[in-house]
Amino acid sequence: MSRTLDGKVALVTGGSRGIGRAIAERLGRDGAVVAVAYARDTASAEEVVARIRKDGGRAFAIRAELGEHGDAVRLWDAFDAAVEEFAPAGGVDVLVNNAAIATSSDLDGLTEEELDRVFAVNVRAPFFIVKEGLGRLRDGGRIVNISSGVARIALPRVIAYSSTKGALDVFTLNLAKLLGPRGITVNSVAPGYVDTDVNAGWLRTDPEAAAEAAAAAALGRVGQPDDIAGVVAFLASDDARWVTGRVVDATGGTAL
Ligand code: NAP
């Protein structure tokens, strides 16, 4: 049976855990060779690779800390060195900018260093990953940027984080115009609350807060990483070839 991404190569940043892991595993099941990029957690990244292989797919892990100058060049150097074994022609068809960090400071508590760091990881890194990757990205390819519902829904206690996602959505919009002539689509996917490590501290320990988060979504529950992976898989597929420059809401209908 042919799968939607047979013969394609995908790179997922932050592919070792949470939403990125679900995306990497899904794209692997859909037939892509998957590069699982991560920062520190080698064991988790190797687990994802093993899982994809167990499901009959092909994958490899690449370690590259984002948020430092030169990060994009280092990421692509690691990708180039590893991809040859799996796809000798090199290049990439699907790029998913998923890795990001959160900040919990409100405007009062925010420091310049915190703001610089969150923008460096969440905005500057995707910006330069695309810039440095354009020569590798094949015509007809896909870029999916993982944004957040908080770029649309005001949540002042995470104002800095939300602002990075707003910037990412503007990046998506302009990039779609720029890359359209090459048949490359560029979209953002905006999740709401999702049950990942980043929320584990409260979501898995505070039933009241968990119930509130579930009630915020019209669909009445907190998202699971697979909910987001399905949307990304659609955007990566040929069926989504006519969708570009959009923010696809994947919040389960939060704040409708
Ligand atoms: P997560 O569970 O914290 O996983 C983060 C992933 O990003 C890990 O693979 C981590 O690698 C990698 N990463 C973190 N900092 C990095 C850095 N400096 N350089 C390179 N890689 C780094 O996050 P998540 O909840 O799955 O979130 C994934 C995406 O969804 C993010 O863009 C986030 O903003 C967005 N989002 C999440 C939610 C939510 O409720 N969870 C809601 C809306 C949007 P290591 O394992 O090596 O640390």
Ligand 1 touching residue 189 (CB < 6 A): no
- What's the order of all strands across the beta sheet hosting 92-97? 58-63, 33-38, 9-12, 92-97, 137-146, 185-191, 247-250
Rounded to the nearest whole angstrom, what is the distance from the C-alpha of residue 163 to the centroid of ligand 1? 16
Q: Are 20 and 254 in contact (CB under 8 A)?
A: no
Ligand 1 touching residue 67 (CB < 6 A): yes
Delineate the domains of the chain, giving CATH numbers in brackets. Answer: 9-249 (3.40.50.720)
Q: Are 65 and 103 in contact (CB under 8 A)?
A: no
pLDDT at 88 over 60: yes
pLDDT at 1 over 80: no
Q: Are 41 and 16 in contact (CB under 8 A)?
A: yes
Ligand 1 touching residue 76 (CB < 6 A): no
Rounded to the nearest whole angstrom, what is the distance from the C-alpha of residue 26 to the centroid of ligand 1? 17
Would you name the residues annotated as active-site residues? 161
Tokens of 39: 């920062």
Query: Phi and psi at residue 173, in whole multiples of 5°?
Result: -60, -50
Report the atom number in ligand 1 closest to the C-alpha of 41.
47
pLDDT digits (tens, 9 = 90+) for 145-195: 999 999 999 999 999 999 999 999 999 999 999 999 999 999 999 999 999
Rounded to the nearest whole angstrom, what is the distance from the C-alpha of residue 13 to the centroid of ligand 1? 9
The residue whose CB lies within 8 Å of the most ligand 1 atoms, and thus the one to mutate among 11, 17, 71, 193, is 17
Of 200, 245, 239, give the one whose Cα is nearest residue 222: 200
- 10 beta partners: 34, 94
Cα separation of 8 and 92, whole Å?
Answer: 7
Instruction: Please give the average per-residue pLDDT across 198-208, as a whole number.
Output: 93
- For the chain, how big is the Rg over CA atoms in Å? 17
Inter-CA distances, 165 with 10, 27, 42, 247, 253, Å: 22, 23, 27, 11, 18
Ligand 1 touching residue 151 (CB < 6 A): no
Which of 11-15, 65-69, 86-90 has the weakest average pLDDT?
86-90
Inter-CA distances, 30 with 23, 33, 56, 202, Å: 10, 9, 10, 33
DSSP state of 88: T
pLDDT digits (tens, 9 = 90+) for 238-254: 999 999 999 999 999 99
